[in-house]
Amino acid sequence: MNMKKNIIASAAVFIFCFVTGYWLSAKSSPQSSLQAVQPVPLFTEPVAFTENGVICEIPPSTASVLAEMGVEPAGLDKVKWEMFLHDLGADAVADIDRALDGNTLHMLIRTGQAKNIRAYLNAAYPDIDAADSRGFTPAAYAALYNDSEILKILEESGADVHRKFALEDGRTVDLLNLALRNPDNSLVKFMSFIGNDPAEYLLEQGFSFENGEEYLLDSLQSWRYPKEILKTTNLNAVAHTGNPLFSEALKAGADKDVIRHFLENGVKITAKADLPVLNAAAGNRGIRAADIEKIISMGGNVNGRTAGTRETPLMAAVKNGREDLAEALLAKGADPMLKDAEGETAFDYMSGNADKTERLKKLMNAYRK
C-alpha cells in the first residue's frame, strides 16, 4: 500500500502544482493558458496498445503499481486506461480540495478565464457546490467577481444557482444580490461593456427584482439598476438591521434621485429605530437641506438619538461640516447642547477648516439654550 500512497501523493503534488502554478502565472500573464503547463506523468514508462485499443504491453514498473492498487490489467483497454488515469487524477484533486478552503474552483475563478474552468471541470470531479469558510460556492464567487461566462459554465455543469448565502451581517442573499454588490465601478462598467455582467445574465435566467427591498442596498454599492429596483421596492420595509430601509439606503449613500423617490412616494418617517431616518439623512453627504426640512415635516425628530452612541442629527451634520443642514435642523429646534454617550455635544463634532468651524460655532451659539 505504500506504493499506492506514493502514486496518490505524486498525483496530488502534480495537481497542486498544476492549479497553483497556473493561478500564479495567470495573475502575471492574462494570456497564459492551461496548455502552457506541462504535466508530469504519473507512470514513467508508456503503456502500449494494439490498433484495436487493447493493452499489449505493460512495463514491469507499471504492472507492479497496478498490482499494489488492486487493478487487474487484463481487463483494461485504452479507454478504460485513460479513465483510470483520469480517476486517479480526480482523487488527487479531491485530496487537494480537502486541504484547501473550499475547492480549487474558488481559486481558479479568480483568474477570470473561462477556458481554465472548463479544463478543470473536465480534469476532475469536483464538488461544484462546495462552500468555503464563508459559505460561498464557486458560483457565488463568479457572481462577486462579475463574470457571467464562468457563472454560465458552472450552471451548465450542474451548479445550484438558486442557493442562498448567509452574510456576516445576518442577511440571507442569492446570486443576484452578490452580483450587484461589487463596488469596483471600473470593473462593473468594463464587464457590462463586453457583455459579461452576471446580474444581467441572472435576470435573463429568470431572476427578478420582484421584491426590490431585497436588492436595493446591494445595488447602491455598485449603482446598477437602482431605478428598476425602486419600482418594486416597499419603501416602508424594515432592513435586516431592524432599521427602516430608508435609513439604511441613506447610510449606504443614496443619491438625490433615490432620496426623492422615497420622499415623493409615501415613505413614513415616524418609526423609531436604532438609526432614525433623520439621523441617517443628516449623515448623508449628498442630501440637500430641503430634503432635511421635508423629513422633519413628515415626522423626523430633530433631537432623535441613535442607539448606543446617542448621536443627534445635528451632530451628524456638524461632523460632515454641513452648515446648511445644521442651520435647517437648528431652525426646527435642534438642541446643540445635548450630549452623546461620551458626554460630547455638537460643538465637539465640528470638522473642517478654521473658517468653517468658526461659522458653525457661531451658528450653534445663536441657538444655544
Residue 161 CA to residue 106 CA, distance in Å, equals 15
pLDDT in tens, the chain (369 residues): 444 444 444 444 444 444 444 433 433 333 333 332 233 334 445 556 566 666 666 677 667 766 766 667 666 666 666 665 555 555 555 555 565 555 677 777 876 777 778 877 876 667 889 888 889 999 999 998 878 889 999 999 999 999 999 998 889 999 999 999 875 555 555 555 445 788 999 999 999 999 999 999 999 988 889 999 999 999 999 999 999 999 999 999 999 999 999 999 999 997 689 999 999 999 999 999 999 999 999 999 999 999 999 999 999 999 999 999 999 999 999 999 999 999 999 999 997 677 888 999 999 999 887
The total number of structural domains that make up the chain = 3
Question: Are 205 and 87 in the same domain?
Answer: no
Q: Please identify, among 202, 233, 264, the residue that sits at the C-terminal boundary of a domain.
A: 233
Contacts of 70 by beta carbon, 8 Å cutoff, 6+ apart? none
Task: Judge whether 217 and 246 are in contact, CB under 8 Å.
Answer: no
Both 162 and 278 in one domain: the answer is no
Three-class DSSP category at 294: helix
Taking residue 342's Cβ as centre, other Cβ atoms within 10 Å add up to: 9
Domain stops at, among 109, 127, 145 = 127
H or E element at residue 175: helix 175-181
C-alpha R_g of the chain: 30
Give the torsion sign (CA, 235, 239, 242, 245): negative
Which whole-number Å values give the CA distances from 14 to 20, 92, 97, 115, 366, in the listed order?
Answer: 10, 9, 13, 20, 76
**pLDDT score recorded for residue 177:** 95
Domain-embedded: residue 238: no
31 shares its domain with 8:
yes
Classified as helix, coil or strand, 57 is: strand
Tell me, yes or no, whether 107 and 169 share the same domain. no
In angstroms, the Cα distances linking 81 to 5, 45, 138, 362 are 19, 14, 31, 87
Whether 267 and 358 share a structural domain? yes
Contact 73, 102 (CB under 8 A): no
267: in domain: yes
Query: Residues 166, 118: one domain?
Result: no
CA 31 to chain CA mean position, Å:
26
Domain-located, residue 316: yes
Task: Give the tens place of pLDDT for each residue, 90-142.
Answer: 555 555 556 555 567 777 787 677 777 887 787 666 788 988 888 999 999 99
Residues 225, 156, single domain; the answer is yes
> Which range of residues forms the domain containing residue 138?
132-233
Q: Is residue 242 part of a domain?
A: no
Rounded to 5 degrees, φ, ψ at 166 are -95, 125
For residue 35, what is its C-alpha cell?
Answer: 496548455
Burial of 150 (C-beta count, 10 Å sphere; 0-12/13-18/19+): buried
102 part of a folded domain: yes
| CATH code of residue 179 | 1.25.40.20
Does 364 lie in the same domain as 276? yes
Residue 249 counted as domain residue:
no
Q: Which among 95, 127, 159 is the end of a domain?
A: 127
Q: Are residues 317 and 369 in the same domain?
A: yes
Q: Would you say 167 and 116 are in contact if contact means Cβ atoms under 8 Å apart?
A: no
Residues 158 and 120 placed together within one structural domain of the fold: no
Q: Are residues 224 and 289 in the same domain?
A: no
Residue 240 included in any domain: no
* Residue 8 in domain: yes
Regarding beta strands 165-166 and 55-57, do their DSSP bridges make them parallel or antiparallel, or are they unpaired?
unpaired
One-letter amino acid of 361: K
Are 362 and 324 part of one and the same domain?
Answer: yes
Query: How many C-beta atoms surround the C-beta of residue 26 within 10 A?
Result: 20
Q: How far apart are CA 369 and CA 139, in angstroms?
A: 58
pLDDT, residue 97, reads 57
pTM of the model: 0.71
